[in-house]
Structure 1
Amino acid sequence: MKQQKRIYAIIFALTTLIVLLAFSFPFIWMLLASFKTQAQIMSTEQFFVFKPTFNNYINVFQEYDFMKYVINSFVVAAGSTIGSLILGLPAAYAIARYRLHSLGLIILVARIVPGISFLIPWFIIFSKVGLVDTYTALILSHMLVGLPFIIWVMISFFEGLPHEIEEAGLIDGCTRSGVFTRIVLPISVPGIITSSLLSFIFSWNNFMFSVILAGDKTKTLPIAVFNFLSYSEINWGALMAAACIITLPVLIIALLAQRYIVSGLASGAVKG
């Protein structure tokens, strides 16, 4: 029996390793290619064994002024996430507590509708008011994706909280808004962090709205990476270095937030 369990464990470990390698191979190739020259990237004999170079990263920041695009992407992603939280958390709480399912359905439809259908109306509106190539236009357009997502994630989270906690707060003299800000939000930290992280990632990686509404002043990272593609050739080394730069902040944020999500779930758990 023990030997059979050991065999099953080995098979499970090997299967997990194969799946992990299959899904992580594109990222491994991207990371290795960012330290190669164009000739090394095209050579199949130098996939793992090659002389690394940092010229791709140096060129990305010196020749392409990539730090400006990093700042633009961070401002837009952070602004859209904060704006979505300010509007989305009270909306999700109201929908969950007052059973406003029809309003929730409307928000869900807004999330389901393809974002490309909003491009022309957004561009016409923002061009009329002179907001094209501004942070305001990009933040508002990215909230079109982040706001419905945060609302729908937090609706289920608020519905799972026990009503007794809120009733105790009301008995102690808190207003409904006081219960929301002082009691509900602190114990909802895991859901808030999770929805904020995913909303930030959606905005960070968004290409569609930025390609229409962004200009030279507000160009974001996905648009900057797209500029590495040309009809004559593709600068694979710089492209992979830029892709690594885009991926790195998201990985760092996810690793840092993971600890807070776990601790928040443990501290915010309530047994009825």
Structure 2
Amino acid sequence: MKTTMTARIGYSLLNVIVIVCLLFPFFWMITASFKSQLQILNPDYLFKFTPTLKNYVSVFEDYDYLKYITSSFVVATLSTLGSLVLGLPAAYAIAKYKMHNLSLIILVAKILPGISYLVPWYVIFNKMHLIDTYIGLIMSHMVIGLPFIMWIMIPFFSSFPREIEESSWIDGSSKIRTFVQMVLPVSLPGIITSSLLAFIFSWNNFMFSFVLAGEKTKTLPIAVYNFMGGTSINWGALMAAACIITLPVIIIAMLAQKYVVSGLSAGAVKG
């Protein structure tokens, strides 16, 4: 009995330590966004300080942050939609015709580091005059988002009963109509899960935008990076910008948590 109680206490303490370690950086980021530069650098003001909105005002007035928010939203939304339009039919075809070799290729494309694509992308996009354009950024994000969506959706489509599809075809429904009206609604948890994760990936992506974007298409991660100068760092504005870029991801995660969990769980069970 004592051993069980001791194990529970130790397990609870370990959970508390892990949670504190995970949440403290977010706590510091949020509180620092409401502090002055001197308060951020002084440990005495870690918990006790007078909040100010000066950093947030500076982010939008001095750095034109709304422009970068718009760019990130356009790239993330359109790259996710494009990946869904191409990825859902492709995943359905792979699942129904059991193209396991192609499925393996998609998995390899998913796990390859994104930096391996940058040099060929830059050369190709430069030749096509797509550097610093939304088309170039959207296409680059789709190269990662597309195999990710397909990888999640293949198990969903594989588990859909073949008999239901065949009965629909016998009744005169086309394969495309069956896919749109019967298969997709049943697979909605997986679609929501994959699209949200693809959107978050695009929203947070730094590397692709750093190489392929310019002043016209600069996204939020690049804008945040620009707060770090060569001689000094505007910590207050940097933390305010970091809070702004993090807030949509947190909201999406909280609102769609049950869909993500159910989607990943359902996709992990085949048949």
Relative to the length of structure 1, the TM-score reads 0.90
Hey, what does 1:84 align to over in structure 2? 83
Structure 1, gaps ≥5 residues long: 266-271
Give 1:13 deviation, angstroms: 4.4
For the 8 Å contact 1:70–1:220, the answer to whether it is kept is: yes
Hey, what does 2:23 align to over in structure 1? 24
Q: What is the distance in 2 between the residues matched to 1:132 and 1:101?
A: 35
Q: What is the distance in 2 between the residues matched to 1:253 and 1:202?
A: 12
Residue identity in the other structure for 1:146: G
Give 1:202 deviation, angstroms: 0.7
Residue identity in the other structure for 1:236: W
Give 1:174 deviation, angstroms: 1.7
Hey, what does 2:44 align to over in structure 1? 45
Residue identity in the other structure for 1:115: G
Hey, what does 2:205 align to over in structure 1? 206
Q: What is the distance in 2 between the residues matched to 1:52 and 1:212?
A: 37
For the 8 Å contact 1:85–1:150, the answer to whether it is kept is: yes
Hey, what does 2:168 align to over in structure 1? 169
Give 1:74 deviation, angstroms: 0.4
1:247-266 alignment, distance < 5 Å: 247-260=246-259
Residue identity in the other structure for 1:253: I
For the 8 Å contact 1:126–1:132, the answer to whether it is kept is: yes
Hey, what does 2:196 align to over in structure 1? 197
Residue identity in the other structure for 1:99: K
Hey, what does 2:220 align to over in structure 1? 221
Give the aligned length: 268
Hey, what does 2:155 align to over in structure 1? 156
For the 8 Å contact 1:41–1:237, the answer to whether it is kept is: yes
For the 8 Å contact 2:193–2:263, the answer to whether it is kept is: no
Give 1:253 deviation, angstroms: 1.7
Q: What is the distance in 2 between the residues matched to 1:46 and 1:97?
A: 60
The change in CA–CA distance for 1:262 and 1:121 in structure 2 (over 3 A counts) is closer
Give 1:12 deviation, angstroms: 4.8
Structure 2, gaps ≥5 residues long: 265-270
Hey, what does 1:122 align to over in structure 2? 121
Q: What is the distance in 2 between the residues matched to 1:264 and 1:26?
A: 29
Q: What is the distance in 2 between the residues matched to 1:134 and 1:239?
A: 26
Give 1:259 deviation, angstroms: 4.9
The change in CA–CA distance for 1:141 and 1:235 in structure 2 (over 3 A counts) is same
Matched, 1:139 2:138: yes
Q: What is the distance in 2 between the residues matched to 1:172 and 1:239?
A: 60
For the 8 Å contact 1:36–1:53, the answer to whether it is kept is: yes
For the 8 Å contact 2:141–2:202, the answer to whether it is kept is: yes
Matched, 1:180 2:182: no
Residue identity in the other structure for 1:179: T
Q: CA RMSD in A?
A: 2.4
Deviations 1:90-139 (A, max 9, x none): 11111111011111122222223222122122112222222211110000
SS at match of 1:61: helix
The change in CA–CA distance for 1:5 and 1:163 in structure 2 (over 3 A counts) is farther
Hey, what does 2:73 align to over in structure 1? 74
The change in CA–CA distance for 1:259 and 1:117 in structure 2 (over 3 A counts) is closer
Residue identity in the other structure for 1:63: D
Residue identity in the other structure for 1:123: Y
For the 8 Å contact 1:169–1:183, the answer to whether it is kept is: no
Q: Percent identity at matched positions? A: 62
Deviations 1:52-88 (A, max 9, x none): 1111111000000000000000000001100000000
For the 8 Å contact 2:193–2:259, the answer to whether it is kept is: no
Give 1:7 deviation, angstroms: 7.3
The farther-off stretch of 13-22 and 193-202 is: 13-22
For the 8 Å contact 1:92–1:158, the answer to whether it is kept is: yes
Hey, what does 1:96 align to over in structure 2? 95
Give 1:14 deviation, angstroms: 4.2
Residue identity in the other structure for 2:222: I
